[in-house]
Amino acid sequence: MKPIENPDVILIGSGIMSSNLGAMLKRLDPTLTIQLFEVTDGLAQESSDGWNNAGTGHAGICELSYTPKREADGSVNVSKVIEIFEQFEHSKQFWSYAVGSGMVERPSEFINPLKHISFVHGQEQVDFLKARYEGMAAHPFFSSMEYTTDRDKIARWAPLLLEGRGDGPIAATKMDGGTDVNFGAISRKLLKWLSKQEGCAVASGHRVVGLTKKAGRWEVLVRDLTTNEERTHSAKFVFVGAGGGSLGLLQKSGIPEAKGLGGFPIGGQWLICDNPDIVAKHEAKVYGQALDAAPTMAVPHLDTRMLDGKKTLLFGPFAAWTTKFLHKKGSYTDLPFSIRPDNLTTLINIGISNLELVRYLIQQGLQSMADRMKVLHVFYPAAEAKDWRLIDAGIRVQAIKKTDGQAGIVHYGTEVITDAERSISALLGASPGASVSVNIILEVIKKCFPHLLSTAEGHARMKEMIPTYDEDIKLPANAARFQEVSQKANALLGLG
Ligand SMILES: Cc1cc2nc3c(=O)[nH]c(=O)nc-3n(C[C@H](O)[C@H](O)[C@H](O)COP(=O)(O)OP(=O)(O)OC[C@H]3O[C@@H](n4cnc5c(N)ncnc54)[C@H](O)[C@@H]3O)c2cc1C
């Protein structure tokens, strides 16, 4: 397909971020012209691909890292999980709109209902989980959550957790309203729709190699990987949704906001279960406590996934040391080549302040199968190595910012970098990126395309796509509105 000549918008990368943005912008303003470039042959093959990420529709239900500790009075602060839940509701609303309006079909190919379970052992953690449950169940978002220390009940929720387990206190919470999401599949569906719209095109096998601003427009240098030819395309607005490739492109753009930024890659690996009898027994996402120095986003979980139309069972991701920024099209020189005079001090600070993390990542990568099975046994004590095999997961490039000074902070979560003229926006970072991607894109639109929302027509279009985008459904007083909108979205998505 021929690229669109000098489009209004160029999207770099075909993951969940660019696909949400492209689809939402085109729906907001059907006259916009949009061109997307993707370096791999297929679409959404990196972090958004189902095999590369954990596919948890992060709604704050089971991830203990969003409620890390108890307050002095013994309660658990649940404000973060309420915020994440609301953001995931926005994702469900937009994707259900895409189904309802005929943009995409067959939602079960990208989203499925699945129980979300938190599971802990040891008295201290049991007490923590109870306090967390009490804080959460009091809010309308989590009112259907159940808590138990009853071993038989936990065995009914997730039998593998109890197989071969010795004595000692255990507890679990369960909510049936969780989801498994294949972010790659929804990305590909949205982009299929976008590529059929007037004035829009999607080009895979094209690597963006340069970004320069001239006379108020971005000149984007693109290499066609089939012919090796390079061509310049110009656009008013560029979105850098290149995942691990975003940092290098931001550095090329030369915008002041990119000065001092660095990236800290964390690789991932899974154990995948090859025994169909075991796969059949488990039907849940089970999250537990972080182990040792594990970064919060690398807390392993026992995870039912629907991948390529088949139910699978994964355990992980295990974190691993890597210097690559992209899983498919990355290179081991990515990290060294990202070091510039303006981010060198920040990176050194990170190295010094996070020696324990670096040591943990290296040690994780050197683990034997027996070591990994020990971690799996925390969740599934009767697991046997013969039923499991190690496979690679995606890479997360965590953002590092100069503005943190000497702090040496690795930013888990997502960072959006936008220039002062609002002509370029880039996304750095990872989890809970994909689940809350619609909310992230909403913020990009509010900041860079405010004129599209300020008219009565634009506002009405956005309300159709995300009915509660300008409402606060977190407020317990708005519980009825939340129920109404959520039930409609769930019905369209086939979530029951
Ligand atoms: C192991 C793991 C588990 C995760 N688990 C979860 C989870 O359970 N829930 C959740 O919400 N999030 C999770 N995440 C995070 C989530 O996957 C990411 O936040 C999300 O997929 C990022 O989407 P993206 O579109 O920004 O990037 P990507 O999906 O990585 O897309 C970027 C695209 O840009 C392309 N690209 C790069 N450079 C160039 C270039 N120069 N020119 C053209 N194209 C380029 C890449 O090939 C790629 O296709 C996980 C991530 C990992 C790695």
Question: Best of 24, 40, 46 to mutate for ligand 1, by most ligand atoms within 8 A of CB?
Answer: 46
Q: Which residues pair with 9 in a beta bridge?
A: 34, 237
* Average pLDDT of the residues in 447-461: 96
pLDDT at residue 296 in the model: 57
Residues with CB under 6 A from ligand 1: 12-18, 37-40, 44-48, 52-56, 58, 183, 207-208, 241-243, 245, 249, 268, 317, 326, 329, 393-396, 427, 430-435
- Of residues 97 and 3, the one with the higher pLDDT is 97
- Show the tokens assigned to 451: 């004129």
Average pLDDT over residues 331-360: 78
- On the question of pLDDT at 347 being above 90, the answer is no
46 alpha carbon – ligand 1 mean position (Å): 5
Give the model's confidence band at 403: pLDDT under 50 very low, under 70 low, under 90 confident, else very high.
Answer: low
Supply the pLDDT for residue 143.
Answer: 96
Determine the residue of 11, 18, 45, 48 to mutate for testing ligand 1's pocket, defined as the one with the most ligand atoms within 8 A of the Cβ atom: 48
Ligand 1 centre distance from Cα of residue 79 (Å): 26
Task: Answer for the pair 282, 291: CB distance below 8 angstroms, yes or no.
Answer: no
The stretch 244-256 carries a mean pLDDT of 93
* C-alpha distances out from residue 296 to 48, 61, 299, 452, Å: 19, 15, 6, 37
Tell whether 13 is covered by a domain: no
Confidence of residue 300 (pLDDT cuts 50, 70, 90): confident
Backbone φ and ψ for 104, nearest 5 degrees, come out as: -130, 155
Where helices occur in 392-449 by DSSP H, the ranges are 437-448
pLDDT band with cut points at 50, 70 and 90 for residue 293: low
pTM, whole model, 2 decimals?
Answer: 0.93
Q: Indicate whether 317 pLDDT > 90.
A: no
Closest-lying ligand 1 atom to the alpha carbon of residue 46? 30
466 occurs within a structural domain: no
- Tally the domains of the chain: 1
Is 322 domain-assigned? yes
Distance of CA 165 to the CA centre of its chain: 32
**Tell me, what's the pLDDT at 177?**
92
Mean residue pLDDT across the chain: 91
pLDDT of residue 294: 59
pLDDT of residue 346: 76
What separation in Å is there between the alpha carbon of 244 and the centre of ligand 1?
7
CA–CA separation, 270 and 440 (whole Å): 27
Ligand 1: residue whose CA is nearest its atom 13: 431
Query: What token pair was written down for 478?
Result: 């708005």
pLDDT grade, residue 433 (50/70/90)?
Answer: confident
Q: How confident is the model at residue 262 (pLDDT cuts 50, 70, 90)?
A: confident
Tell me the sheet residues that pair with 208.
222
Q: Which of 382-386, 432-436, 466-470 has the lowest mean pLDDT?
A: 432-436
pLDDT digits (tens, 9 = 90+) for 176-222: 999 999 999 999 999 999 999 999 999 999 999 999 999 999 999 99
**Residue 87 within any structural domain of the chain:** no
Mean pLDDT of 429-442: 85
242 alpha carbon – ligand 1 mean position (Å): 7
Q: pLDDT, tens digit, for every residue of 54-65?
A: 899 999 999 998
- Of 17-26, 295-304, 471-480, minimum mean pLDDT range: 295-304
Closest by CA to 125, choosing from 84, 94, 169, 91, is 169
Q: What is the pLDDT of residue 297?
A: 55
Domain assignment present for residue 221? The answer is: no
With respect to residue 402, please indicate whether it lies within any of the assigned structural domains: yes
Q: Is residue 88 part of a domain?
A: no
Atom of ligand 1 nearest to the CA of 13: 34
CA of 393 to the centre of ligand 1 (A): 11
Question: Does residue 392 belong to any structural domain of this protein?
Answer: yes
Under the banding of pLDDT at 50, 70 and 90, the label for residue 43 is very high
Q: Judge whether residue 413 has pLDDT over 90.
A: no
Strand partners, 315: 271, 302
Residue 386: how many other CB atoms lie within 10 Å:
8
Nearest ligand 1 atom, CA 49: 29
Q: Which domain holds residue 345?
A: 261-412
Flag whether pLDDT at 40 surpasses 70.
Answer: yes
